[in-house]
Structure 1
Amino acid sequence: MTGTGPDDALVATFEAQRPRLISVAYRMLGSRADAEDAVQEAWLRLARQDASSIGNLNGWLTTVVGRVCIDVLRSRKAHPEASYDDVPEVVVIEDAGKPEDDALLADSVGLALLVVLDTLRPAERLAFVLHDMFAVPFAEIGQIIGRSEDATKMLASRARRKVQDTDRPTDEPRKRAVVEAFLAAARQGDFEGLLRVLDPEVTWHSHTSRGEVVRIGAAEVAVRAQRGARATADARPALVNGEPGVVVFRADGELLGVMACTIVDDRIVGIVSVSDPERLAEMGLR
Structure 2
Amino acid sequence: MADAHRTDPIADAFESHRDRLRAVAHRMLGSHADAEDVVQEAWLRLSRQGTGTIDNLGGWLTTVVGRISLDVLRSGRTRPEVALDDRLPEFTVTLDDAPAPDDLVALGDSVGLALLTVLDSLRPDERLAFVLHDVFAVPHREIGAILGKSAEATKMLTSRARRKVQTAQQPAGAARRQREVVQAFLAAARDGQFERLLHVLHPDVEFTVHTPDGRFVTIGATDVAARARMARDAAGAHAATVNGRPGVISWSADGTPLSLLDFTVADGRITAITAVIDPAELALMDLPGPPLPGDGLMGKAPAEER
TM-score by length of 1: 0.65
Q: Structure 2 CA distance, aligned partners of 1:126 and 1:182?
A: 38
State the AA in 1 paired with 2:202. Answer: L
Q: 1:209 to 1:59 in 2, by over 3 A?
A: farther
State the AA in 2 paired with 1:83. Answer: A
- Give runs of aligned pairs for residues 1-286 of structure 1, distance below 5 A: 8-49=8-49, 51-76=51-76, 80=80, 83-86=83-86, 87-93=89-95, 96-97=96-97, 101-102=98-99, 105-106=100-101, 113-120=112-119, 121=122, 122-147=124-149, 148-162=153-167, 165-166=169-170, 168-177=171-180, 179=182, 194=202, 223=219, 230-233=227-230, 234=232, 235-236=234-235, 238-241=239-242, 243-247=244-248, 255-261=258-264, 274-280=276-282, 283=287, 284=289
RMSD: 4.7
Native 8 Å contact 1:191 1:226 kept in 2: no
Q: What is the Cα deviation at residue 38 of structure 1?
A: 1.1
Q: Structure 2 CA distance, aligned partners of 1:152 and 1:113?
A: 21
Native 8 Å contact 1:27 1:114 kept in 2: no
| Number of residue equivalences | 257
Q: Structure 1 CA distance, aligned partners of 2:140 and 2:164?
A: 14
Determine helix, strand or coil for the equivalent of 2:52: helix
Determine helix, strand or coil for the equivalent of 1:52: coil
Q: Structure 2 CA distance, aligned partners of 1:38 and 1:244?
A: 28
Native 8 Å contact 1:85 1:212 kept in 2: no
**Structure 1 residues not aligned, in runs of 5+:** 199-203, 214-220
Q: 1:242 to 1:181 in 2, by over 3 A?
A: same
**Structure 2 residues not aligned, in runs of 5+:** 189-193, 292-306
Determine helix, strand or coil for the equivalent of 1:245: strand
Instruction: Mark the structure with the bigger radius of gyration.
Output: 2
Q: What is the Cα deviation at residue 34 of structure 1?
A: 2.5
Determine helix, strand or coil for the equivalent of 2:248: strand
TM-score by length of 2: 0.62
